[in-house]
Amino acid sequence: MSVLAINGGKKVREKLFPAYNPIGEEEKAAVEKVLDKGKLSRFLGCWADDFYGGDEVRALEREWADKFGVKHAISVNSATSALYCAVGAAGIGPGDEVIVSPYTMTVSASAALIYNAIPVFADIEKDYYCLDPDSIEERITERTKAIIVVDIMGQPYNADKINAIAKKHNLIVIEDAAQAPGAMYKGKYAGTLGDMGIYSLNYHKHIHCGEGGLIVTDNDELAERLTLIRNHAEAVVEDKGYTNLVNMIGFNYRMTEVEAAIARQQLKKLDGLLEARLKNVEYLSKELSKIPCLEVPLVREHSKHAFYVHALKYNKEITGISREKFVEAVNAELTPFEMRETEGVKVGCGYVKPLYLQPLYQKLIGYGDKGCPFKCPLYKGKLNYDKGICPVCEDMHYEKVITHEFMVPSMTKKDMDDVVEAFNKVWNNITELK
């Protein structure tokens, strides 16, 4: 008689998992305060005191800079905007190359395209999934201007080695710490390890204000350029007396007062939420490591991981069953999260398809229909977005990695026990899948 739910047996869990929702009364009170003032934004797109935004925006920036120990924090309306600002502030343009990760949210690579530069994909580390320093070194050419490193899944990048490579070749390091607020490497916060760092306040991140982002830097010139690009630079530079016009075509990447007010309250909760997340990870890793076909995540030496997701490695040689079939069977035993019911059970195969295999890079169509910027006459390099250019990434994504989100702070021990039971049930009845 069948035991596994995928074959008609009883599920381990019927009840939805508790929603991860860190928004509480503090945020409601902060929003009401802004609403009572009646000023939902105080930005002006001209050179005036309000060019830098309202009271809540400026307070958030001060508090964020203090928290992460940096000189400047610049708020924007999304982490995507933050990456665009950072690439622009770095002076990157047509003909340039930017080394990027293939295993990340797409904008961590496509940000280069916004300034008509070319993303060059380096491979990832098999244990930590961040950019591999050796692969970066192999990709550097005379056209390389920057490296966009990603603290993927909450793991800080290898700052010692990659920063040394950047210094050797005079490259800017832009750190995408969207998934790693509170993570640390050798006593420094993720996001502060490069020349500029970006954070996300999107609704499914560790802390959020719906949408939003922050950029941090200790460099005064970069900070000035970031604030200009955020807010209609071309309309401001003359009156401000700013003369470096490279990439001074501005945008409207401004954060509202309501978002900033929420983010200020969320920032106060970060340490506690991260502590709860790490406690859950410790428990799940201990229990899931007992299953022979699974390998739990490693944490880089001298690092604190933020665990945006909990990434397992699967060994199909042990089970004789494909990863996809194993995950399908686990998902059949479990339920979605409240507030995210339409997303299904949060156990997945791989993380994201290697970015260079997206249509954008395979068809070389960016701006218009002429192949820009890939076929721009100012670009003198040789493109290579072929399958196989990042073999570790492809192996991890298509064969080994299993991701899940059952370590979020809303999960109780009983909730996590159901997750562990589901994995164990499939392992103990693996012959049913053969």
Answer with the one of 243, 266, 289 that is the final residue of a domain: 266
SS (H, E, C) 322-361: CHHHHHHHHHHHCCCECCCHHHCCCEEECCCCCHHHCHHH
Is 165 found in the same domain as 41? Answer: yes
Is 286 found in the same domain as 229? Answer: no
- Look up residue 327 and give its amino acid: V
Q: Is residue 423 part of a domain?
A: yes
Is 332 found in the same domain as 251? Answer: no
Q: Is residue 388 part of a domain?
A: no
Q: Is residue 121 part of a domain?
A: yes
Q: Is residue 383 part of a domain?
A: no
The per-residue pLDDT for range 24-60, each reduced to its tens digit, is 999 999 999 999 999 999 999 999 999 999 999 999 9
CATH number at residue 171: 3.40.640.10
Domain that holds residue 310: 5-19+270-351+394-433
Is 337 found in the same domain as 241? Answer: no
* pTM score, whole prediction: 0.97
Is 274 found in the same domain as 204? Answer: no
**Spatial contact of 11 and 334, defined as CB atoms under 8 Å apart:** yes
Q: Is residue 302 part of a domain?
A: yes
| Tally of domains in the chain | 2
- Residue 8's region, left for phi above 0, alpha for psi from -120 to 50, else beta, is left
Provide, rounded to the nearest whole percent, the portion of the chain with pLDDT above 70.
Answer: 100
Answer with the one of 207, 234, 266 that is the final residue of a domain: 266
d(CA 217, CA 219): 5
Is 131 found in the same domain as 69? Answer: yes
Structure-block tokens of residue 21: 């929702």
Q: Is residue 377 part of a domain?
A: no
CATH number at residue 340: 3.90.1150.10
Q: Is residue 385 part of a domain?
A: no
Answer with the one of 217, 251, 266 that is the final residue of a domain: 266
Is 187 found in the same domain as 322? Answer: no
The per-residue pLDDT for range 213-238, each reduced to its tens digit, is 999 999 999 999 999 999 999 999 99
Q: What is the mean pLDDT of residues 390-395?
A: 98
Looking at every residue in the chain, the average pLDDT score rounds to 97
Paired with 313 in beta bridges are 295, 401
Is 245 found in the same domain as 139? Answer: yes
- Name the residue with higher pLDDT: 1 or 288: 288
Is 238 found in the same domain as 142? Answer: yes
Is 173 found in the same domain as 144? Answer: yes
Q: What is the mean pLDDT of residues 281-294?
A: 98
Cβ neighbours around 187 below 10 Å, total: 8
Per-residue pLDDT at 1 exceeds 80: no
**Residue 223, C-beta contacts closer than 8 angstroms, at least 6 positions apart:** 71, 72, 74, 217
Q: Give the pLDDT confidence score for residue 2 in this predicted structure.
A: 74
Q: Is residue 358 part of a domain?
A: no
The per-residue pLDDT for range 304-332, each reduced to its tens digit, is 999 999 999 999 999 999 999 999 999 99
d(CA 326, CA 294): 11
Q: What is the mean pLDDT of residues 71-99?
A: 98
Q: What is the mean pLDDT of residues 185-206?
A: 97
The per-residue pLDDT for range 103-130, each reduced to its tens digit, is 999 999 999 999 999 999 999 999 999 9
Structure-block tokens of residue 114: 């916004």
The per-residue pLDDT for range 371-388, each reduced to its tens digit, is 999 999 999 999 999 999
Structure-block tokens of residue 372: 């820009």
Q: Give the pLDDT confidence score for residue 180 in this predicted structure.
A: 98
Q: Give the pLDDT confidence score for residue 112 in this predicted structure.
A: 98
Q: What is the mean pLDDT of residues 199-203?
A: 97
What phi, psi does 374 have (nearest 5°)?
-60, -35
Is 229 found in the same domain as 298? Answer: no
Is 297 found in the same domain as 167? Answer: no
